[in-house]
Amino acid sequence: MAERALRGTRLGATSYENDRNTDLAPRQEVDYTCGKGHRFTVTLAAEAEVPVTWECRSCGATALRVDGELPQTKKSKPARTHWDMLMERRTMEDLEEVLAERLAILRAGRRKSA
């Protein structure tokens, strides 16, 4: 019987479920506008936290919620470079001394090979 019921259909291509007798989750619609003037609506769950920014569907720029304000940027420390970390461990005099030693070794190696 089951074979006859599915004969002539493409399995997985069509859903046999329907929306009858089902309650959809409560939703809310939030409007966003990007800097280029594109306006669009995003549907979210009612209990979801609504983000202040969203990626614009048209141009990919950052869009701001219509009734929202731009989020405050946190002050962050500048990235520490290798030089900064080196200067935490050594003084300029130490570095000049190490440089002089390495140059002496390199010069001595060149004299041997020449």
Q: CB pairs under 8 A, 24+ apart, for 96-102?
A: none
Q: 4 labelled as ligand-binding?
A: no
Residue 106 labeled ligand binder: no
34 belongs to an annotated ligand binding site? yes
Q: Is 63 annotated as a binding residue?
A: no
The separation between the first and the last C-alpha atoms of the chain, rounded to the nearest angstrom, is 93
Q: Is 12 helix (H, G, I), strand (E, B) or coil?
A: coil
Cα gap 23→102, rounded to integer Å: 76
Distance of CA 46 to the CA centre of its chain: 25
Binding-site sequence positions for Zn(2+): 34, 38, 56, 59
Give the residue ranges of the annotated binding site. Answer: 34, 38, 56, 59
